[in-house]
A and B are shown apart, each in its own frame.
Chain A
Amino acid sequence: MKSREEYTASIYAKRDAILKKRKKAAGGIAAALCIALSFCTAAAVMPKMMKKSAPKETAAQTTVAIIESPENTEGEILVTYLESYIRPMPEYSEEKVGGEGENFVDDAGAPENRIENEEWGNKQFAHHVTKAVTEIALETVIGEDALGEPSVTKKPSSVGEYTDEEILKAAENCLTDAEKKAVEGTEPMVTVTRTKGGEESYGIMYIAGDTKIKIILNAENLEFISKSGGIVSEGTTAALPYMTTPAYNPQGE
């Protein structure tokens, strides 16, 4: 039989041995976990690394590689085949044509607006096909927002640049002599219209009895845009006699 001291010492020794064993096992488990983790990481990273190490060759790179090979006749055929698929990209000359924003013309001379899209931090291009829109675009920044919707920055208003006399005189110049005579002495009505695109115009309406003539002028330069209405007299509005086929009159009477 062990003495009391030996018995106690044996218990503590056994306890220490077990703790040591557990610690060692825990270290082993930790090491195994580390190895497993590194394997997992490697498994996750390796495909990406492999992709990076073998980048996709572009058509241009392929072409160069084939050309550099001296006796590659098949390659030359392939180059010709590939080049047939290369479409020339439009090149834009960065000639500024004035107005607000950055306005350019392409090789064909069509106005080209280069729009700085602040949200996306890149430049976008917009073609303007109609003359009116092109003219507006010269001084109006038109482009597309991130969603592809038209985005218009309106230009400053031109209203106020001309006096009423100048506007009326410009409008009178658009009237014929008969019209001038018909509306003589009347007080024309002037309205200002601003379109969504920023285009401003003056509408000058002459009303004299039933005669109504409306002249529309460009607010910016007082150029004639359109005219509607006209002189209305009693004679003009009266119903014309019913026109029938002349009665048969063989004698010509």
Chain B
Amino acid sequence: MGNGESSYRRFIDGDEGAFGEILDMYSENLIFFINRYVGNVAVAQELSEDVFVEILLHKRRYNFKTSLKTYLFTIGRNKAVSYLRRCARRPECAYEYIENESDRKNLEDEFIRKERERELHRAINTLNDDYKTVLHLIYFEDMSYEQAATVMKKNKKQIENLVYRARQALKKELEREARLP
């Protein structure tokens, strides 16, 4: 357990400053992760806010059995999936949040500093949702297979298979990009 958990313990004990520490530690990663699903930085930011609102309202739901990061990302994924379902029923919701191109660029710049990683990020974005998510969690968030399984509500074997297939798909995509003039 890292610093996030100790901050969370202080937050449960009533230290409001600890909540700020949690925000500093996880908010941007969370936005970046949710953005993988929704493809809109403004929406991702809104949804990440909802994740932290959940934390404020239900302090004691977190049981410290997983890392705080896994817990937050699980909530974030649920929020993103709910949002996508809602938008599938009500297409106009997609236009409620107008993404600013500069926001997207700022977010990417914040997380992806190396050119090689940028290429990888762009290639990942072309994959299907499960491949994107599993590769993001494993390679960008440094999560274990178990943690990724928790976030994606799958078992470890499924995650292993997903990672294998996602790698194959990514390899093909990178090869395709490499062939491009």
Contact = CB atoms under 8 A, between A and B. Distances in A.
Interface in A88-136: none
A111 to B, nearest CB: 85
Given A1-B106, A1-B107, A15-B56, A10 B49 contact: yes
Interface string A4-18: 100110111011001
B43 to A, nearest CB: 12
B52 A11 contact: yes
A2 interface: yes
18 contacts: A1-B41, A1-B100, A4-B23, A4-B24, A7-B27, A7-B49, A8-B23, A10-B49, A11-B49, A11-B53, A11-B56, A12-B56, A14-B49, A15-B53, A15-B56, A15-B57, A18-B57, A19-B57
Nearest to A1: B103
Interface residues of B, number: 16
Contact of A2 (B45, B50, B56, B57): B45
B91 interface: no
Majority secondary structure of chain A interface residues (helix, strand, loop or mixed)? helix
Given A1-B45, A1-B106, A7-B27, A14 B53 contact: yes
Nearest to A12: B56
Interface in A1-39: 1-2, 4, 7-8, 10-12, 14-15, 18-19
Majority secondary structure of chain B interface residues (helix, strand, loop or mixed)? helix
A20 B62 CA distance: 24
A-B residue pairs, 4 tightest by C-beta: A15-B56, A14-B53, A11-B52, A1-B103
B177 to A, nearest CB: 28
Contacts of A14: 49-50, 53
B39 interface: no
Interface string A181-216: 000000000000000000000000000000000000
A12 B56 CA distance: 8
B41 A7 contact: no
Contacts of A7: 23, 27, 45, 49
Nearest to A19: B57
Interface of A: 1-2, 4, 7-8, 10-12, 14-15, 18-19
A202 B89 CA distance: 113
A128 to B, nearest CB: 83
Contacts of B50: 14
A51 to B, nearest CB: 52
Contacts of B52: 11
A16 to B, nearest CB: 10
Nearest to B50: A14
Interface in B49-91: 49-50, 52-53, 56-57
Contacts of A18: 53, 57
Contacts of A19: 57
Nearest to B104: A1
A208 to B, nearest CB: 110
A7 B53 CA distance: 11
Contacts of B107: 1
Given A4-B23, A7-B45, A11-B49, 19 more contacts: A1-B41, A1-B45, A1-B100, A1-B103, A1-B106, A1-B107, A7-B23, A8-B20, A10-B49, A11-B23, A11-B52, A11-B56, A14-B49, A14-B50, A14-B53, A15-B56, A15-B57, A18-B57, A19-B57
A5 to B, nearest CB: 10
Interface string B2-46: 000000000000000000100110010000000000000100010
A19 to B, nearest CB: 8
Contacts of B20: 8
A146 to B, nearest CB: 63
A1 B102 CA distance: 9
